[in-house]
Structure 1
Amino acid sequence: MEFFDIKKNWNETNIKVGRGWKLDELRIKSNTDLHKLWYVLLKERNMLYTMEHECNEQVKLFPNPERIDKVQESMNNIETVVRERNVAYYQLETGETGERPIEDVVSIFGIPEKYSKKEYSIPAFMNKRWVRPYLENGYINSRAVKKFLRLYNEKKHNEERKARNRDYNHVQQLLKRFPDMDMEALKAEYPNVDIEKAKRTKKARGHCLPKY
């Protein structure tokens, strides 16, 4: 029954809960306390998932679904604190972080990505199933991958262009509605927009004479 909430909360529509654990609060706790708190949160998360599934099966409203987010945030913060302590310990003992090495590689689609190194049964240069397609023939240099990269870069360019146009139009509307606004704050909020150019447009002036 620990997979279910207490019975007095079964038919409630609003359950009062607190906030998640913050990093500063977890950093002052011992490893034993963090270990115990992790399993308390794990049980709580399993219970919430069970109750959410049961409410969906009964076509009922799951009360306070943000509880799952708070529990997950607390668990992520515990992992962050434990990782910080592990890194500090390994740097003190060995001079290294102890984290898995990460390097920049190019995927089979020609896109740069981060790769976390891990152990394999044989080294890369002895793995013929990997050497032949990647080093000899090369999926990255194939015609299909080049076409994909061309379309992918075109899509990224169009998305960035549309985002710039949205910000530019939004700045013009702001200048039209609030001509006396702080220009320094506007530049800090939209650093990629030419504020001086936006001031000179008809959309920014509206039906009034400009004050700048």
Structure 2
Amino acid sequence: MMNTAMISNLFRNTLARCLRSQNVVNIAAASVVKRDLHTTNPNNELMEFFDLKKNWTETNIRVGRSWKLDELRIKSNSDLHKLWFVLLKERNMLYTMEHECNYKMKLFPNPERIDKVQESMNNIETVIRERNVAYYKLETGETGERPVEDVVNVFGLPEKYEKSEYYVPRFMNTKWVKTYLEHGLINSMAVKKFYRLNREKQKNIERKARNRDYSHVQQLLKRFPNMDMDALKAQYPDVDIEKAKRTKKARGHFMPQY
């Protein structure tokens, strides 16, 4: 009898412990599966890269405008961070839909949505850069951005150069000094010829633009002899209005009043 009672008690205690362990496992599993806060849809499938099914057959989807700088400046950093990822997902979805429409040879509805999303993301980057510059100026007195200086490249043209760190300083880098300065990549005949032809091309572009504006002003004077000359001069400041008035092309077939 003693042994029977001890065995039954041991069996009962073992069963109770197993049930308690099973309850603990179920509670832990439920706490892992249950989500009180979601940053995305619970359904994390590849269909998130596609638009809603109701928009697949639409040819015109009504959407809003992009986010403006003034609207983004009043938001906190956490809100901007969340909005950035929302726009990133939207951009990925639009790129996927555009690729799929091109593959199916169908019209992609409202392609300007990509431009609006990209403009909003650029505005967020602008606001973040403004805050970073303000913070670094307040703390260190500098902008905190990579310094930029005006240099002349190997083709003899001016360009903006963003400085970066190198393990060898410039004055110690004999290979760069001899190649870039002493032996004359800038002073070579090929670079000088290229620079001369490039300046000639730019001068021709400017000359054609001046001639085009001058001819346009003559046509305006011919069609509208009573137009406001101050407004015309303000719109075309590089054109000699008095000289254009005296040309035969600007007179027309009537006696001008000026």
CA shift, 1:141, in A, is 0.3
CA shift, 1:182, in A, is 1.4
Within the candidate set 149, 152, 158, 1:106 is matched to: 152
Distance in 1, matches of 2:196 and 2:118, equals: 39
Distance in 2, matches of 1:151 and 1:118, equals: 32
* TM alignment of 1:85-100, pairs within 5 A: 85-100=131-146
Unaligned runs of 5+ in 2: 1-46
* Counterpart in the other structure of 2:71: 25
Correspondence 1:161 to 2:192: no
* TM alignment of 1:58-97, pairs within 5 A: 58-97=104-143
Amino acid aligned to 2:241: I
* Counterpart in the other structure of 2:5: none
Distance in 2, matches of 1:121 and 1:169, equals: 57
CA shift, 1:48, in A, is 0.7
Higher relative contact order (CA 8 A, sep 6+): 1
Distance in 2, matches of 1:54 and 1:120, equals: 44
CA shift, 1:121, in A, is 2.2
Percent identity for Structure 1 against Structure 2: 81
TM-score, length-normalised on structure 1?
A: 0.97
Amino acid aligned to 1:94: T
* Counterpart in the other structure of 2:81: 35
Amino acid aligned to 1:54: E
* Counterpart in the other structure of 1:120: 166
Distance in 1, matches of 2:242 and 2:73, equals: 47
Within the candidate set 135, 138, 156, 2:184 is matched to: 138
Distance in 2, matches of 1:92 and 1:170, equals: 52
Larger Rg: 2
Secondary structure, counterpart of 2:144 in structure 1: coil
CA shift, 1:66, in A, is 0.5
CA shift, 1:26, in A, is 0.5
Distance in 2, matches of 1:181 and 1:160, equals: 27
* Counterpart in the other structure of 1:47: 93
* Counterpart in the other structure of 2:36: none
Secondary structure, counterpart of 1:124 in structure 2: coil
Distance in 2, matches of 1:21 and 1:87, equals: 21
CA shift, 1:35, in A, is 0.6
Amino acid aligned to 2:49: F
Amino acid aligned to 1:72: Q
Unaligned runs of 5+ in 1: none
Amino acid aligned to 2:130: E
* Counterpart in the other structure of 2:235: 189
* TM alignment of 1:3-22, pairs within 5 A: 3-22=49-68
CA shift, 1:175, in A, is 1.1
Matched positions, count: 212
Secondary structure, counterpart of 1:2 in structure 2: helix
